[in-house]
Amino acid sequence: MTIRLLSAALVAGFLAACVASGLQFALTSPLILEAEKYETHASLEPVQASSLIVLAHAGSEHGAGHGAGAETEEWQPAPGLPRLAFTALATLVSGVGYALLLGAVLLATGRPVTRGEALRFAIGGFLAASLAPAIGLPPELPGMGGEALALRQTWWIATALATAAGLYLVAIRGGALAVATGLALIVAPHVWGAPHVAESSALPAAVAAQFAARSIAVAFAFWAVLGLAFGWAWDAVARKPAA
């Protein structure tokens, strides 16, 4: 069972990462490069700040968080091909990790591992890890002001966990009390409010809105492929020994 889970997660994570990386390069990377031009005019150290934002953003497009500049100098990939390769690698690692989590949740809840069931759980993962956090903290481009990174990461983790627990209570457990508790968990982080500080930015609002919309769309494609691929790989691994 463990080997089957690992094999399916590797296949699903790889396929989802390939699709997401291609969409990132085509849809969101050009906007990041455009935003860095505005950041260059607004900062004396644009390369350091923008690159760190891009690295953090590589995970934020699948629900991992939002980027922010750092006060201390840290390693960062060079612009161009190294940055694209590092982003693709980060997406691959995230894909395998999310696929393992998806399979573990399916097995823990006792649900049959089929393509349809894996897709439904993957959509739940998209809601919990991408859409719900984006309501309070939409994906941000370089040069956009925000609260301290640690505070935003804490809020993102709390929102993802609360949403996941709420979806479990509503969709799996059922019952009036479970549904009411689940809805309360889903709404609670947004009632509390995300730690975001609005600051002036030279970046056009249309570019920022386009980036947020495209990032969420890429995240949905990532999770959909992840679910379908995991269900297919789970069956394929089972048929291989029999053959």
Q: Give the total number of structural domains in the chain.
A: 1
pLDDT at 6 over 50: yes
pLDDT at 71 over 60: no
Give CA–CA dist 186/23, Å, rounded: 29
Share of the chain above pLDDT 70, in %: 76
pLDDT, one tens digit per residue, over 40-57 is 555 433 333 333 223 334
Give CA–CA dist 189/187, Å, rounded: 6
Query: In the numeric block, which tokens belong to residue 217?
Result: 């769309």
pTM score, whole prediction: 0.80
- Which structural domain range is residue 153 located in? 2-242
Maximum pairwise Cα distance, the chain: 63
Give CA–CA dist 33/29, Å, rounded: 6
Could you tell me where the DSSP H helices lie in 24-45? Answer: 29-42
Query: In the numeric block, which tokens belong to residue 194?
Result: 């995300």
The set of residues, in sequence order, having a beta carbon less than 8 Å from that of 120 and lying 6+ positions away, is 227
pLDDT, one tens digit per residue, over 144-199 is 666 677 888 899 999 999 999 999 999 998 889 999 999 999 999 999 988 876 56
User: How remote is the C-alpha of 7 from its chain's centroid?
Assistant: 22
Q: H or E element: which one contains 3?
A: helix 2-23
pLDDT at 23 over 90: yes
